[in-house]
Structures are given as structure tokens and as C-alpha cells.
Amino acid sequence: MYVPEAAVHVAFLPSAGMGHLNPCLRLASVFLRHGCKVTLIIPKPTFTLAESNLISRLCSSFPHHVTQIDFNITPLDPTTVNTANDPFFLQYETIRRSVHLLSPILSSLSTSLSAIIVDVFLISPILPIVEKMFCPSYIHFTSSARMLSFLAYASVLADSDPAAQPHPSTFVGDAIHIPGITLSIPRSSVPPPFLLEGINFFKRMIMEDGRNLKKYDGVFINSFEELEGEALAALNEGKVVRGLPSVYGIGPLMTCEFENVDEGEKGCMSWIVEWLNERGEGSVVYVSLGNRTETRREQIKDMTLGLIECGYSFLWVVKLTRVDREEKEDLEDVVGSELMSKVREKGVVVKDFVEQTKILGHPAVGGFVTHGGWNSITESIREGVPILTWPQHGDQKINAEVVRMSGVGIWAEEWGWGTQKVVEGKDIAKRIKEMMSNESLRVKAGEMKEAARKACGVGGSCEVIIKRLTEEWKRKAHVN
């Protein structure tokens, strides 16, 4: 397909990790399907090989419409940071501290930009650069609209009580009541780093970036009216914070062709699909608590017992080490051969990369036990699979409330944060049975699936938004 010189040209600057990169590339593919030219500015080195492979596949899928530019980030000085911290946050910090190197990259583009879309973790550091550019700038927010309302309103709370800084915990109280949002956010759901004494990366980002949201032209978010209508309306009507830019619900972002891995990368997927093909419709529990951090050793045994006791077949993607560490153990090394033999009777356990959307889309999968990452939630909703959320950290309790409010799943709130307490196997089994046997969840998940497909389909809200914006950008380009 020929792309004329006057075509809309959009630059994307993602952050670290598949949880941020994948939805960024899915959003880029939406613009590509609408005839836009895309430039990917990729922080190098990437955090994982999976990220590099995903980028390469997108570029190969649109060879004439995508340009990749490497953004070589400067390594952190180990004397100024704690290298034992979460590896993702270390990478985020590295990128944030390197953004001053972007100016010559952006000025060297052969075609002028119609817009630039920047990852949420780069709101403040890149602001001085985008403010000097002659094109609209947008934020790509990778969580729920409910979480965005928290991000925007938290800085307002701090500004209203200057004596509380730098300890936001002093003004959170029992809950945060966000204007325009019916259900308040309890203190127990606030991301734990925000409540710590002193300044940390996450707290600084929330406080600083929340204030700077107003300086952008808009926010793209992977959500839609039927799922988060109240929160999206509150944000766009100025109820949460006056002066916020438009929040565009362009979700749910669809799985794209470029995500299909090559034969050499498929790993365990072929036999997983074969195994699923042998199971009855809706009979399998899919379990994955994310790819960032490991499941704690003290929780592994009870998790195993719970899956065995629940009575359903299960597919468990288990992570025994942090994402930046090599997997050296098998589950049998942790739980023992006797328990492992019982696992094999009812389910399968994998440690390798899996194509999650392909698993969720399989008719045999009847429920999803997830950490509550927003990508996982929207992927499950798009496939109509009921959800049991078990938040581990960050925004995941806030997202879990969205799941519960929408009626597509349940949240085991009494379990707390998955990184802080051990949940007994019998309790895990009980909650899985509740999810798998609840007909109202299944009906609601099916209804939300239809609403999701409509939102991202032909003539849906996503298409309407993208068409309107690209036409606006074209008009501005002619004026300039």
C-alpha cells in the first residue's frame, strides 16, 4: 500500500517491559490500519529478547509504513541507585534519565510529525521536549480509567495539603474519594509504594506526572464505554480534575497479526493447544500471575494444592524467578515428586512464553486466575472469559475493582496483596470453584465480550476516535 507524503505521521515512544510495549504496538497498528505512517522510537537495549522480537515482527508486517529508530539510553550510575530494586523500575528510571538525548532524534526525522504518543512513565521527563515541538502530544496510559482518575486526583490532594508532603500517606486516610467516581478507593487498594515514608520512584512519578497531565493534548487508554463509562465520563467532564485533556477510550486493543510468533519461537504452544483441544468446553482454569515477578516459594505449595483440589483441569503458567533471571528450577524441585504426580493428573504447568490471547480464546478455557494486570484483564474480557483477580502489586487492586464492578469476575479481596501473605490451598480451590460455577459471571462476560468486539470493530468507538483525530491532525498540518 502506497503512503503519500501528506499521510499522517505518528511517533511512538514506549517504555520498558512487554506490559507497556505490547499495547503500544497494538495502538500503533490501529493507526497503521488507518493509513498512517508510524515511527517507533525504541529505547535500547531493550529489557528482554521478547521485546526485540515483537518490535521486529511489527516492522516486518508493515515494511513500508513503519520506521524504527534506536534510542540508546545511558546506563544508570550504580552508586546512585539500588540495583536490587525491581528491574522494570530500574529500566524505567534509566529511560527517564536519558530522554534529554531525544531532541536530536526527533529533529532528524525526514517527515514532519502529525503527533507523538508517549508512554505514561515518561510524562514529566519528556515534557520540555514535546512542548517545543510543532505537533500535538499524547500520553498512552497502560492501565484502567479508574487508575487514571487516581493518578490525576492524587496530586490535587497533595496540593490541597502541602504539609502532608512528601508523605502522601498522611492525607489518604481510610479511602480516597474521587469526584465523579461512585466507589472510593480504599487505603488498602492504593499502590503500596505510594504509602511509604520518604520519596521513591513510584511516588514521585504519581505526584509529578499527575500535575503534568494537563500539559498534553490527550490521553489514549485501553478501555471502553461499556466497561468504564463512569470513570471515562468523570475524567472527560472535568469532575476528577478540571483542565484535564480529553481521555480517548480506544479499547479493547485487539491482538494483531504481528504478535503471532514464528515457528522457532512457538515453544510449548503447539502441545498446549493440543492439550486444550482434548478438554471439554469451559472446563479448564487458566492461571497466570504475570511475567514480572516470581511466585513466592511459600505460596507455591498452597497454589498447587488449591489447583488440585478445585476439581477442574488447569493450565498454570508459573514463574519461579524474576523476569531478569534465568529459570533454573522446575516446579517439581519446589513441591516434590509426590505432589507433582497429582498435578499431572489434572493439569499442565509451563514456565515458557505462551500466547495468552490464543489460550484465552480457546473454547476449553472457562476461567482465568490473574494478577489483575490491565492487559490481561482486557484480553480476558475481549474473549468473554470470567476472571478471578489476585492482585500482586501496583495498580492491580484498583483494576480488580473494575472487574468486580463490571460483573465479569470476582476479586478475592480478603487475600490482600499476593506478595504479602500466603493464601491456603483450600481457599484458592473455593474461589476457583466460585468463578467456574457462577452462571451470572459467564453471562455477563459473554455480554461484555460482545460490547468489546463492537467497540473495536468497524464503526465502533475506537475507529470513530482515530478517524476524528487523524482528520484534525491533517487540518492542522495544512494550516501550519
Q: Which residues are catalytic?
A: 20, 119
Contacts of 364 (CB under 8 A, 6+ apart): 276, 277, 279, 280, 281, 282, 283, 284, 313
Q: H-type helices in 314-395, by residue range?
A: 331-335, 337-346, 356-360, 374-383
Q: What grid cell was written down for 441?
A: 459471571
Say if strands 347-350 and 175-176 run parallel, antiparallel, or are unpaired.
Answer: unpaired
Instruction: Give counts: helices (H), strands (E), the chain.
Output: 19, 15
* CB-CB neighbours of 340 under 10 Å: 16
CA of 206: how far to CAs of 120, 152, 176, 202, 430, in Å?
A: 10, 8, 15, 6, 36
Q: CA-based Rg of the chain, rounded to a whole angstrom?
A: 22
Q: What grid cell was written down for 370?
A: 490473574
**Identity at 240, one-letter amino acid code:** V
Check: CB of residue 268 under 8 Å from CB of residue 318. no
End-to-end CA, the chain: 27
* CB-CB neighbours of 414 under 10 Å: 9
